[in-house]
Copies of this chain bind each other. A is one copy, B any other.
């Protein structure tokens, strides 16, 4: 690795462990949900750290925390860098948290070594991304970019029947207290764990994301006829489990033929009445399909649905599908991505360009301002689990790249 930047690897590890204390679970994971007590402690402790680092820190009206390193130019636009502070239930120490830590360490380094930048940089600890407390995801980035207003959280409750507004006020946030939508963002830089095993398998330390995939999710229902497993000869059967199995086999085996970047998953399946000696009347299964090009998704869906129709005609059974998610693919900024690639190549860090198959705050910013998303490897590809892990050396490499990138953009 070629760079003159030096940061203390142990220090990075300490940061990770420190932030993971807020909401630490008995399994070694973290549960830090939007507006809960651990969330409040984490955000306020981060605010204190920002102040100690000489950043001017503040919350916006929904609880996004910003730490500003003021630029010398009187430009209105700010470079934003960070990630989200919330976790899934019993999640890992790195998802979101690493992006905040990396941004803080990077900005602190820049400030210490180069002083004030030309362009203002703000570190952001976004209040929410996961959607793990309320049925609403990307609340932090969505509020900053104006995708969400406070209207969108009205009538939402968590599983303990706490209303969204009650949860907000319990951490001292008042509806309409401060403006949330920002018009002064120049660009957004996020660094995040991969949550997949591609970098690890290919022995790369940095992933440079060109696109975040579009996602479509469906529920498919196959309706046959319930019948006695012993007294119904095979030709008389309308066996919904068999037809579902044929559909699943077809769907998944299509994927690799269509495009190597395409992924499709049937993760959930349920049969009725689900009894060993009764032919199942009904099977429902989910289909999750992702790619960064809408036309590939269109082609896949067309092919799959025409197979469903054909099988429905052949078997006399119903195959119905309902779409319940449609997230458009988002491209990262070409200039920022190229700059990141140049930096990583100059630093001689093993890297690859990649598509993000998971959703990130960067996808919300991506349609709003020039955005870059960088990945560091996830050991075993494991995420959303206490077992989530990234080697310290990789965490450090990510920060070095971020420092260099912010330096070139802001100084």
Chain A positions within 8 Å of B, measured between CB atoms, are: 194-198, 201, 213, 215, 217, 227-236, 239, 241-242, 244-246, 248-249, 252-253, 255-256, 260-263, 265-271, 274-280, 283, 285-286, 288, 290, 356-359, 381, 383-384
Contacts and interface: CB of A to CB of B under 8 A. Distances in A.
A267 B226 CA distance: 10
B242 A252 contact: yes
A269 B288 contact: no
Contacts of A383: 228, 231
B280 A276 contact: no
A269 B77 CA distance: 55
Contacts of A201: 236
Contact of A228 (B195, B239, B245, B253): B195
A386 B95 CA distance: 54
A267 B227 CA distance: 10
29 contacts: A197-B232, A213-B230, A215-B230, A228-B358, A228-B383, A229-B265, A229-B267, A229-B288, A229-B290, A230-B290, A231-B358, A232-B263, A233-B260, A234-B252, A235-B256, A236-B381, A239-B252, A242-B248, A242-B249, A242-B252, A244-B245, A245-B245, A245-B249, A245-B266, A249-B249, A267-B278, A268-B280, A269-B274, A277-B288
A215 to B, nearest CB: 7
A201 B233 CA distance: 11
Nearest to A249: B245
B357 A196 contact: no
Given A195-B228, A249-B246, A268 B271 contact: yes
Contact of A239 (B229, B230, B231, B265): B265
A133 B381 CA distance: 48
Chain A interface, DSSP helix/strand/loop, else mixed: mixed
Nearest to A289: B229
Contacts of A263: 229-230, 232-234
Across the A-B interface, the 3 shortest Cβ-Cβ residue pairs = A196-B231, A230-B357, A229-B265
A197 B236 contact: yes
A196 B232 CA distance: 6
Given A215-B230, A267-B271, 18 more contacts: A196-B231, A196-B233, A198-B231, A229-B265, A230-B263, A231-B358, A233-B263, A234-B255, A241-B248, A241-B266, A242-B266, A245-B248, A265-B276, A265-B277, A265-B279, A267-B274, A269-B269, A277-B288
Contacts of A261: 233
A330 B49 CA distance: 79
Interface centre among A228, A231, A234, A235 (most CB of B within 10 A): A231
A357 B228 contact: yes
A278 to B, nearest CB: 5
A195 to B, nearest CB: 5
A246 B288 CA distance: 19
A363 B228 CA distance: 18
Contacts of A286: 276
B269 A271 contact: yes
Contacts of A230: 195-196, 213, 215, 263, 288, 290, 356-359
Contacts of A262: 234
A231 B356 contact: yes
A267 B256 contact: no
A163 B51 CA distance: 70
